[in-house]
Amino acid sequence: MKLSGKSWIVAKSAYILFKKAILHFISLSWIFTAIYYAFFSRTYIREQRAVVAGLIRHIDDLKKSPSFFLLRKNIHRIEKGLVMPYQRSTFAREYIGETVGFYKKSIEQCSVEQLPLEVIWSRDVLLHYFDLVNGDPLISKAKEAFFALEKKGHVPQSIPYLRGEQNTPVSHADLQLLARQRKSTRTFLKKPVPRDLVDKALEVAVRSPSSCNRQSTHYRIYDEPALCREMSYLPLGAISFADNIPMICAVTGDLSAYFYERDRHSIYVDGCLSAMLFMLALETVGLASCPLNWAEIDGIDRKFESKIGIPKHERAIMFIAIGYPDPKGCVTYSERKELDLLRSYNKIENREVSEQKMIM
Ligand SMILES: Cc1cc2nc3c(=O)[nH]c(=O)nc-3n(C[C@H](O)[C@H](O)[C@H](O)COP(=O)(O)O)c2cc1C
């Protein structure tokens, strides 16, 4: 049944009132909230299942074949200990044995001639660590286990280094220009997108920060025309220009990178930091992009997961349309808010903080 314009407005207003009443009611107590989302709404169920699948995978990895997530996280913690302004003489004793174990399993999984950069980094950081930190039985035991694997005479290189003077080769004005040049682009030339250019942009994206350097983000890129078209129709916000997208990318996050439920949002933060750098880098190689919302809609989520067969603990974060921009196509003006609305300093709601006191 098709509603007339007026009936549609009435129906929508009634729905909003009903929704507000429900939300108001369940907000009265966390028990109401829990009951509502357990029995009356499936909104969070897929996310919860993905978080659980991620935790199970993480725990399995701890025992069986450690993923790079675990090695990265522990090596990162050791590096952090090595760069602290007030370095403790002994640190990482609780997890150094585990870390050497992860490292051992990692080198067993790859050929010695072609160790991944991350394994070389782990080895170098461990060498550096054992050179500086000792004097504890647990650390001595781990050191022994590590040097049983280590050929003598290797000079570690991928280790903490002096940051040096702040001397950026990119001026503020250049970065401002690049930020302004990047516009969500919805009209692309009908021209294939060279993968080597996309890879160049990804080489920049990989420099983005991530929680404990876990790097939970993955870029699933589609440029085969039929597949690309199919993928472009999944995010609802691209339907009106899906046929015009020559390449599409799903940015996903792997929840098995995390051990606690409390970290479930980290994949989204990691993914978005990386995606932003990626989109800026695409501009520098002559390409344009449009970020696309990935709404948590059960049927669409399922379709995406089953189509490409991703594991349950990997979640879509957003999609990005990529292509050569059509110079004859328009982009939106999209005015930004004023600085005063964007930020505040020392603001505590309902309390005045004297500016005088804050002047350093
Ligand atoms: C997370 C996210 C989701 C977005 N989803 C869509 C979308 O589904 N469809 C679309 O056309 N644009 C989408 N955009 C683009 C925004 O509309 C755009 O970034 C905003 O209007 C500012 O314009 P600009 O990017 O051209 O500066 C999205 C942007 C972000 C950051």
Which residue CA neighbors atom 21 of ligand 1 most closely? 334
Pocket test for ligand 1, best of 176, 182, 183, 184 (most atoms within 8 A of CB): 184
Q: Looking at residue 108, what is its pLDDT?
A: 85
pLDDT, tens digit, 9 for 90 and up, residues 83-142: 998 878 899 999 999 999 999 988 888 777 788 899 999 999 999 999 999 889 999 999
Q: CB-side exposure of 282: number of CA atoms within 13 Å?
A: 27
Rg (CA), the chain: 25
Q: Looking at residue 270, what is its pLDDT?
A: 97
Question: Under 8 Å CB-to-CB from 237, ≥6 apart: which residues?
Answer: 292, 293
Question: Under 8 Å CB-to-CB from 259, ≥6 apart: which residues?
Answer: 55, 58, 59
CA separation for the pair 23, 126 (Å, rounded): 52
Q: Which atom of ligand 1 is nearest to the CA of 331?
A: 26
CA separation for the pair 124, 104 (Å, rounded): 14
Q: 15: CA distance to ligand 1 center in Å?
A: 27
Q: 303: CA distance to ligand 1 center in Å?
A: 23
Q: 237: CA distance to ligand 1 center in Å?
A: 9
Which residue CA neighbors atom 30 of ligand 1 most closely? 291
Cα-based distances in Å from 314 to 63, 219, 272, 317: 20, 12, 15, 9
pLDDT, tens digit, 9 for 90 and up, residues 144-161: 999 999 877 788 999 999
Determine contact, residues 31/289, Cβ cutoff 8 Å.
Answer: no
Q: 238: CA distance to ligand 1 center in Å?
A: 10
Determine contact, residues 51/264, Cβ cutoff 8 Å.
Answer: yes
Question: Under 8 Å CB-to-CB from 76, ≥6 apart: which residues?
Answer: 212, 213, 214
Q: 116: CA distance to ligand 1 center in Å?
A: 36
Q: Which atom of ligand 1 is nearest to the CA of 183?
A: 26
Q: Looking at residue 315, what is its pLDDT?
A: 95
> Quick one: which of 263, 279, 160 has its CA closest to 214?
263
Q: 355: CA distance to ligand 1 center in Å?
A: 37
Domains, the chain, ranges and CATH?
A: 9-41 (no CATH), 57-147 (no CATH), 175-323 (3.40.109.10)
Strand partners, 220: 250
> Residues with Cβ within 6 A of ligand 1?
183-184, 186, 235, 237-238, 290-293, 318, 331-332, 334
Number of H helices, E strands in the chain: 14, 4
Determine contact, residues 307/229, Cβ cutoff 8 Å.
Answer: no
Q: Looking at residue 171, what is its pLDDT?
A: 95
Q: Looking at residue 68, what is its pLDDT?
A: 83
Segments of the chain scoring below 70 in pLDDT: 1, 352-360
Determine contact, residues 318/251, Cβ cutoff 8 Å.
Answer: yes
Q: Which atom of ligand 1 is nearest to the CA of 272?
A: 1
pTM above 0.85, yes or no: yes
Q: 291: CA distance to ligand 1 center in Å?
A: 5
Which residue CA neighbors atom 17 of ligand 1 most closely? 184
